[in-house]
Amino acid sequence: TKKRSLGSGVIISNDGYILTNFHVVAKATETKVRLADGREFDAKLIGTDEKIDVALIKIDAKTDMKAASLGDSDALRVGDWVIAIGNPFGLAHTVTAGIVSAKDRMIGAGPYDDFIQTDASINPGNSGGPLFNIKGEVVGINTVILSPSGANIGIGFAIPINMVKEVLSELKEKGKVTRGWLGISVQPLTPELIAALNLNVTEGALVSDTDKGGPADRAGIKRGAIIVELEGKKITDIAQLPRVVARMEAGRSITIKIVRNNETKEVMAVIGKMGK
């Protein structure tokens, strides 16, 4: 027997491209889209990015669609009003409002862990739907609820639209996203670590592990090194690092400034290609 599941999406171009969550369409054998006016279409899967939980699908509507415009999620401030639209529990076209409770929220969802937190009511079925700013621009794609019961408790999360915009053309053209890779695990430099290790730096990413034979390992970066700069860009928090590396092309040589035993040195590394 076929199982049906429900999610939401947002039309982002007049020719029928729609953004939704990867987990909404991941195991679908067929995907149907029902618009607010009741029209129904078969949708084609164009591209997926499991790492940030985004999928691009397309419908052929024969006429120009009304598309939402994409805003700037970096311009959002804590306290700004936001509006979520979706189909919570199958209740079509539900609109809820709230504020941005926090930005750059890390919830242990992987290397691209950087969510907009909102108290706008987001429930099962809202996944993949848009989060709008007060100007009516899409600033996020609603994705996760953090709740023991699975129902809304005033904490919802959305993928920042700027993160999605970075991969959109690649999803359209190639159907998947290729990211740069260094082959390291990092942890934050806490005041306790700085004191315990008697460090002379206060900002950077502490290398907790390296993949044997990976780009960082080949460049001589070992566990315990602190990455303070990447191509001249200061690393002030660890969430930056995977995102900066991800945007780099495989095969590119980069300069990394590291601190080890309180000595600073520069090493060259060749960016690898991230696997699945």
> Catalytic residue positions?
23, 53, 127
Query: Could you give the CA distance from residue 143 to residue 84 in angstroms, rounded to a whole number?
Result: 11
- With a CB cutoff of 8 Å and minimum separation 6, the contacts of 105 are 114, 115, 116, 117, 157
Angle among Cα 216, 222, 223 to the nearest 5 degrees reads 120
| Tokens linked to 53 | 């939980």
**Which of 249, 244, 238, 185 shows the shortest CA–CA distance to 211?**
185
User: For the purposes of burial, counting CB atoms within 10 Å of the CB of 182, is it exposed (0-12), middle (13-18) or buried (19 or more)?
Assistant: buried
Query: Could you give the CA distance from residue 220 to residue 222 in angstroms, rounded to a whole number?
Result: 6
One-letter amino acid identity for 123?
N
Assign residue 236 a region: left if phi > 0, alpha if psi is -120 to 50, beta otherwise?
alpha
